[in-house]
Amino acid sequence: MSSLIKSPKDFWTGVVYFGFGAIAFWIARDYSFGTASRMGAGYFPTVLSGLLMVFGLLALLRGVTRNGKPFGVFAWKQALLIFASTVAFGLLLLRAGLIIALIVLILGSASASSKFRFEWKALLMALGLIVFCVLVFIKGLGLPMPLLGSWFGD
């Protein structure tokens, strides 16, 4: 089997992409699809999962046709930091609000990088991302997320 896989990194990336795409496609199958002009609840997840599966197949194909690099060491600490930041975002969203939850998510995830330094440029980028998310998700899409959650009296 190892002779079939020429680029383990590309091959297993393709497996992960295709797997996540297939799971999302399977979950979205019960939602109404609709049309491009009148999208149903399943339109976006179906299209997105289809694209993810296509990218997965392309990476799989590349993994068996082109020579590439083997896997390096898996960065467990960094993966755990990103996972914990995402879980914290989900837990904080209603209690602390979108602004605090995004600060925790952004700074927690960014701290996983060895190149991250807490300086004014990073703070400015985080602030810009928070403003962008508020404008898109709350103002633009009208999602019912509190800016400041129940801990702050909202």
Contact status, residue 63 vs residue 10, Cβ threshold 8 Å: yes
Q: How far apart are the C-alpha atoms of 97 and 150, rounded to whole Å? A: 8
Pick from 151, 135, 153: nearest CA to 143: 135
Confidence of residue 2 (pLDDT cuts 50, 70, 90): low
Q: Residues 82, 52: one domain?
A: no
Pick from 35, 140, 154: nearest CA to 99: 154
Structural domain range at position 44: 8-65
Q: Residues 113, 141: one domain?
A: yes
Over residues 101-116, the pLDDT tens digits come to 999 999 999 889 888 8
Over residues 21-66, the pLDDT tens digits come to 999 999 988 888 877 777 777 888 899 999 999 999 999 999 999 8
Average pLDDT over residues 84-109: 94
Q: Residues 58, 84: one domain?
A: no
Over residues 70-80, the pLDDT tens digits come to 777 888 999 99
Find the range with the poorest average confidence among 49-58, 101-110, 124-133, 138-147.
Answer: 138-147
Confidence of residue 131 (pLDDT cuts 50, 70, 90): very high
**Whether residue 19 has pLDDT greater than 70:** yes
Q: Residues 80, 147: one domain?
A: yes
